[in-house]
Chain A
Amino acid sequence: MSPRILHIAANTFREAVRDRVLFNLIAFALLMSGAAILVGQISIGIERLVVVNLGLTAVSVFGVVIAIFIGIGLVSKEIEKRTLYTVLSRPVGRWEFIVGKFLGLAGTLVVNTVFMAVGVFAALLYVSRTFVWADAWILVALYFIVLQFLMITAIALLFSSFSSPLLSAVFAFSLFVIGSFAEDLRGFAAMAHGVGRFLATGAVYLVPNFSSLNIITSVAHQQPVMGDSIVSNSVYALLYTGMALCGAVLIFETRNLK
């Protein structure tokens, strides 16, 4: 990998840290501590279920909000503030800039998720007093959440490469919501007829399938995750991320920076 990509990624990570993005961890820590203490008092027998559900949902929501709201500004902010001029006048390819920005934000989200995961396991230990083997599936759920972050970051970056931050936020958030109901959309496509079926099937393939990456409920119920599901979801998420990034690069390569 080009060292310039890593330098851009490191600078993006540093920007996120200095913009106090990781301060969300404080809110998360407060939420998990409060939940762990409250759950112990009000939910007899299902403390573990509630903590895992609440914890993983919070990890997902916090991360998606960061991915969208930072991702949409990754390119447009640099153009608007003209910080990009002194970067692209150096021997830096436009594709290197996009990939570096993506890796920087993805790295921020991974670090954020690692800290949050520690919080989830700490809260779980507090309410259950011990870990069981089934808790290992929480790690798979967290891995799937990170895959979602990669996809949503790439999508936000794609919109950021040609649209304003506000529109990018609307587009990215809409895709996230629609993608979270991708399985329902698939069911609708199977039932539809004629042009409706054609359009719905097209949308099924186009919209990111976040619902198959959401295994929070099954993990909270200590249900195992199949190996082939891990492989297929990983391949799907990485391919989708790669395609969105390629789209962002293709658009950005031809864009005039007025």
Chain B
Amino acid sequence: MSAIEILGLAKNYTVGFWQKREKCALRPLHLSVDEGEIFGFLGPNGAGKTTTLKLLMGLVFPSEGSARILGMEINNPRMKAQIGFLPEQPYFYDYLTANELLEYYAQLSGVAARDRRTKVSEVLGRVGLEGAGRTQLRKFSKGMLQRVGIAQAILHDPKVLFFDEPMSGLDPIGRREVRDLMEELKRQGKTVFFSTHILSDAESLCDRVAIIHLGELRGVGAVADLTSSVEGKAEIIWHGSTVPPSIKGLTSECRLTGDTVRAVVREANQDAAIDGLRQAGIRIISITPVRTSLEEYFVRKLKPSETAAGVRS
């Protein structure tokens, strides 16, 4: 069953004061996300990711189309009790302490009064903020606020989570913790829909991704499918700091990193290159076929010549 169904959702804004004109923020978008999936919504800044999330949260109204979350319309209060949302660069009531803020959100989400305190301290622990519950949010760093944002999104144990740039403002350890948390949510059977422009996060986390650019869906599919096409090249890595003269003409790229050399060779030249290295007495570490990375796929989809034709949703 689909957790999220987006049926031709589109958004145009009217801009200008005297000479009003329509600006398209999102072209009709068709997309579905299965239950239990981690779905990455990728695109450069201004692509329409946040607009899509705002439409799904009922913060802006669609110009056309509709969407259903857990089979319910997007403004259905019963549905809203089962979703969690982390906005981009969240800002909270800074006169409140973390405990007070989360208790307030628990009240609004309909968490029973007897469970609120337990839930709040549990969720603060999950995001690594145990001990910070009594601190006013105005004293929090950007990374801590991001963690509070994640805490408020998962506080009421929602079935579907929407994260807008969840890694933004986090240090490498924080990013790792958020990735672990998202994987844990997946193991619990939750559906996670998150927007990002950090491709490595999407590649390591997502079951499927969609790429959006200039308000238009450019591609969607399983990460493994998108990155599985072999390019007819292989990367050879060996110990050493030199490239034997016999294979110099066979390599297209060569990079020296520390005490290893990485060289890319065409598949047709692969055997000759291996023979050349063996004859020079060099120990080969690995030989790997070169596959399209998500980054390459992403860049290709952003080119103007690419169209949405053939997009699977």
Contact = CB atoms under 8 A, between A and B. Distances in A.
A90 B59 contact: no
A86 B105 contact: yes
A258 B12 CA distance: 12
Interface stretch (B86-94, B249-257, B302-310): B86-94
Among the interface residues A7, A82, A85, A258, which one has the most CB atoms of the partner chain B within 10 A? Answer: A85
Contacts of A86: 85, 87, 90, 92, 105, 149, 152
A88 interface: yes
B54 interface: yes
A52 B82 CA distance: 55
A76 to B, nearest CB: 14
Interface stretch (A11-19, A33-41, A183-191): A11-19
B87 A82 contact: yes
Contacts of A83: 91-93
A120 B131 CA distance: 45
A101 to B, nearest CB: 13
B32 interface: no
B60 A257 contact: yes
A93 B76 CA distance: 10
A91 interface: yes
Contact of A254 (B61, B90, B107, B108): B61
B121 to A, nearest CB: 20
A90 B105 contact: yes
A81 interface: yes
A258 B91 contact: no
Contacts of A81: 91
Contacts of B297: none
Contact of B87 (A11, A85, A90, A254): A85
Interface in B175-232: none
B60 A85 contact: no
Contact of B107 (A3, A84, A256, A257): A3
Nearest to B58: A88
B132 interface: no
A86 B78 CA distance: 16
B63 to A, nearest CB: 10
A11 B85 contact: no
B138 to A, nearest CB: 10
A91 B81 contact: yes
B104 A88 contact: no
Contacts of B61: 254, 256
Interface in B91-139: 91-93, 95-96, 100, 104-105, 107-110
Contact of A14 (B80, B89, B95, B107): B95
A193 interface: no
Interface string B34-68: 00000000000000000000100111110000000
Contacts of A232: none
Contacts of A84: 59
A11 B106 CA distance: 13
Among the interface residues B13, B77, B149, which one has the most CB atoms of the partner chain A within 10 A? Answer: B77
Given A7-B108, A81-B91, A91 B59 contact: no
Closest 10 CB pairs between A and B?
A89-B85, A91-B77, A18-B95, A256-B60, A91-B80, A7-B107, A85-B87, A89-B57, A257-B59, A91-B81
Given A86-B149, A91-B109, 10 more contacts: A11-B96, A11-B104, A14-B95, A86-B87, A89-B83, A89-B162, A90-B81, A91-B81, A92-B108, A258-B60
10 contacts: A11-B93, A11-B96, A14-B100, A82-B90, A82-B91, A85-B59, A86-B105, A89-B162, A256-B61, A257-B54
